[in-house]
Structure 1
Amino acid sequence: MTQSNNVRLGVILMLLTTIVFALQDGISRHLAAEYNVYLVVMVRYWFFAAFVIVIAQRNAGSIRAAAHTRQPVLQAFRGVLLALEVCVMVTGFTLLGLVESHAVFACYPLLVAALSGPVLGESVGWRRWAAIAVGLVGVIIILQPGMSVFDPFATVPLIAAMMFALYALLTRYVARQDNTATSFFWTGVAGAIMMTVIGIWYWEPMTGVDWMWMATLCVTGVTGHWLLIRCYEAAEASAVQPFAYFQLVFAAAIGIALFGETIRPNVALGVAIIVAAGLFTLWRERQQG
């Protein structure tokens, strides 16, 4: 992958990526409310796997070259983990809506920072630990544990955040031996195989309109990943990653405008704390890099 450092272009591409992924989340919420989550994610992964194979073949030269790895078990586990995380997150959309699911999920960069020490052996200084602690306070404010109104379903996106954080760390780990094309190939193919094994048992007919929504979901998934690849080709990840938080803004807007969701004061406060802590963590990573 050829890397330039056009930060302005990278930021624009990241913002477009967050808009497309927010649309994808909105469509997933609609479809998962009507059909089984495993079915929705399975069909989405079929198209994603096809896209991944094309991209991997283009970058690696052949499918065999793209699939070659000395750590197939770990690569397959990554792909399966991400597919299952998508299932958990989409389930969260149906239980809590887009606003609160994304509010809790926003803590995943802090979880990556916290786990980078035990998983990758990276050094985590006291400033990052302080930011992680502050961010977790934000999560507690959102979840309101111990309150009479506490909804146990609120832990669903937190589980998804933990799974995605582990996936991100394993992606860093396998990158020590495998290139991006190989990791991308295994992400899509292993995930599609796992979702087919699970989702085929939940097959049910869809209406014509919902098949159109499903096709749109697949297109947004492919488009979002293509934009993300172009984004990281255009600029360094540390420069554009803070703008990934805009997915929370766009997803919340869709949730409010199309699904009648609301933003509770504790959710707004918690998100502000989490995002501030996450941005500080990203800044510290860039300073040390």
Structure 2
Amino acid sequence: MTSQASLDAADEKARRDRLLAITLMCGALMCFACLDTSAKWLNRYMDPIQTVWVRYIGSILFVTALINPVTHPGALKSNRLALQLARSLLLFLSTILNFFALRYLQLVETMSILFSTPLIVALIAGPLLGEWAGPRRLAAIAVGFVGVLVVTRPGIGGLHPAALLSVAGAFCYALYSLATRVLAAHDSSETTMVYSGFAGVVLTTPIIPFVWTAPPSLMVWLVMFAVGAFGALGHWLLIVAHRYAPAPVLAPFIYTQIVWMIALGLIVFGDVPDAWTLTGAGIVVLSGLYLLYREREQKTSTDRTAG
């Protein structure tokens, strides 16, 4: 009886932890949606490079407050320094490409294209990491890219050419994700987090004096602060969420971000996504969810074999 009670208590705790993790994950995604919304709004008043700089300065200040030589001795020491720097550069490229694309595209359009990242990861993980996709996963990848084509509609009067910036940003983010996966075996998560914003600050700070535009109002100052705050808070919530539940449990909830993007685009900018965008986004989301399902099934099968 005592043993059964202990098992029931453990199951209840695991259930509460999963619910807490899902709540934190959804909060992080809301922060990221607010980050992109704030960046798009700031594009009316300043160069996107200035917005990127503000975003990374906020992140660096937050990370430094949590992870520094006092709280985490040795956090700056990396066993794969070159890969850490390359990963940081890829994250910076993905961010700046997305922020420039936001000048011309709706929030839901950029997010629909960015959702192709899991498809790109599954496709390039084979030649880069030896993790080859099977025929079912390849079919899901092909369908997902059809969804991206539906959103962008190249050559038939679809989106603004800035959609290509979002596509390039998705490829950079996919490579960033693979680099993160490789680094997990060599460096601590704290070390990887410290280096995440390195390229963004180093590459944009020298340019800022040439593109700086003084904020014309208190509201612009507040939104600039919000960009840094949303980015820092979102990453913190993301990290905490993964302490309470594994990535496979949380991954499907990534796609809830498109709901926030549609709502914020409508409320802040009056953007109403057309049927093509919604259809393409739906195709990409379903393809990504299927890939997550196949990955979970494959992991379960491997665990059973190992057991």
The TM tier, using the shorter chain, reads over 0.9
Deviation track 1:203-241 (CA, whole Å, cap 9, x = no partner) reads 221123211111122111111111001111110011011
**Is contact 2:54-2:225 (8 Å) kept?**
no
Matching residue's letter, 1:12:
T
Match of 1:67, SS state, is coil
- Residue 261 of structure 1 is aligned with which of 265, 271, 290? 271
Taking a change above 3 Å as real, the CA distance of residues 176 and 24 of structure 1, as seen in their structure-2 partners, is same
Query: Does 2:39 correspond to 1:39?
Result: no
For residues 53-202 of structure 1, the aligned pairs below 5 Å read 53-57=64-68, 61-62=72-73, 65-149=74-158, 151-202=160-211
The answer for unaligned runs of 5 or more in structure 1 is: none
Which residue in 1 is equivalent to 2:39?
Answer: 28
Deviation track 1:61-98 (CA, whole Å, cap 9, x = no partner) reads 22xx1111122121112112211211110111111121
**Is contact 1:106-1:248 (8 Å) kept?**
no
- The structure whose Rg is larger is 2
- Residue 223 of structure 2 is aligned with which of 185, 194, 213? 213
**Structure 1 length as normaliser, TM-score?**
0.93
Matching residue's letter, 1:127:
R
Q: Which range moved further: 212-221 or 133-142?
A: 212-221
Taking a change above 3 Å as real, the CA distance of residues 59 and 237 of structure 1, as seen in their structure-2 partners, is farther
More helix by proportion, 1 or 2? 1
Q: Which range moved further: 51-60 or 215-224?
A: 51-60
In the alignment, the residues of structure 1 paired with residue 171 and residue 163 of structure 2 have an alpha-carbon distance, to the nearest angstrom, of: 14
Give the deviation of 1:58 after TM superposition: 8.1
Which residue in 2 is equivalent to 1:224?
Answer: 234
For residues 249-288 of structure 1, the aligned pairs below 5 Å read 249-288=259-298
Match of 2:205, SS state, is helix
Taking a change above 3 Å as real, the CA distance of residues 150 and 22 of structure 1, as seen in their structure-2 partners, is closer
Match of 1:34, SS state, is coil
Give the deviation of 1:57 after TM superposition: 3.0
**Is contact 2:152-2:158 (8 Å) kept?**
no
**Structure 2 length as normaliser, TM-score?**
0.88
**Is contact 1:18-1:244 (8 Å) kept?**
yes
Which residue in 2 is equivalent to 1:239?
Answer: 249
Deviation track 1:161-191 (CA, whole Å, cap 9, x = no partner) reads 1111111011111222111111111112333
**Is contact 2:40-2:99 (8 Å) kept?**
yes
Match of 1:197, SS state, is coil
In the alignment, the residues of structure 2 paired with residue 124 and residue 271 of structure 1 have an alpha-carbon distance, to the nearest angstrom, of: 22
Give the deviation of 1:60 after TM superposition: 6.7
In the alignment, the residues of structure 1 paired with residue 30 and residue 61 of structure 2 have an alpha-carbon distance, to the nearest angstrom, of: 23
The answer for unaligned runs of 5 or more in structure 2 is: 1-12, 300-307
Which residue in 2 is equivalent to 1:48?
Answer: 59
Matching residue's letter, 1:51:
F
Matching residue's letter, 2:194:
F
Let me know the Cα RMSD of the aligned residues.
Answer: 1.8
Deviation track 1:192-213 (CA, whole Å, cap 9, x = no partner) reads 2122134343122112321111
